């Protein structure tokens, strides 16, 4: 399976947009009974229900709403989001993975 992402699409969104995506899409998506929320995002992407850039946004939102990040101060959450987005845009391995999502 080859997965490609459109790297020409901007990955930046406002904080409120990511929070909206997180609350609307990640928490409301029912993961397969044996899967995780990430599996549900992958399935929606593979089924063509969401775009590759929306999948990346949902994965970032999922990260921001899980574990210790969820309970972190808002300023730290924003910093983590910025670091994740920068990593997707600049890290060669992540950039390659993102480029292959279709």
Per-residue model confidence (pLDDT) at position 48: 92
Domain ranges in the chain are 15-99
CA distance 27 to 78: 19
Per-residue model confidence (pLDDT) at position 100: 77
Q: Look at residue 38 and give its three-state secondary structure.
A: helix
Spatial CA neighbour of 64 closest among 11, 18, 5: 18
The CA-atom distances, in angstroms, between 51 and each of 44, 60, 67 are 9, 14, 26
* pLDDT tens readout for residues 9-47: 444 444 444 554 444 444 444 444 568 999 999 999 999
pLDDT band at 74 (very low <50, low <70, confident <90, very high): very high
What share of the chain in percent tops pLDDT 70? 66
> Across residues 85-92, what is the average pLDDT?
92
């Amino acid at each position: 399976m080859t997965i490609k992402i459109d790297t020409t699409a901007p990955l930046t969104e406002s904080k409120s947009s990511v929070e909206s995506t997180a609350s609307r899409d990640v928490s409301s998506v029912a993961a397969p009974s044996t899967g995780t929320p990430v599996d549900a995002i992958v399935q929606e992407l593979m089924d063509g229900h969401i775009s590759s850039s929306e999948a990346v946004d949902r994965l970032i939102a999922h990260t921001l709403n899980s574990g210790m990040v969820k309970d972190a101060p808002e300023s730290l959450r924003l910093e983590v989001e910025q670091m994740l987005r920068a990593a997707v845009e600049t890290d060669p391995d992540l950039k390659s993975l993102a480029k292959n999502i279709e």
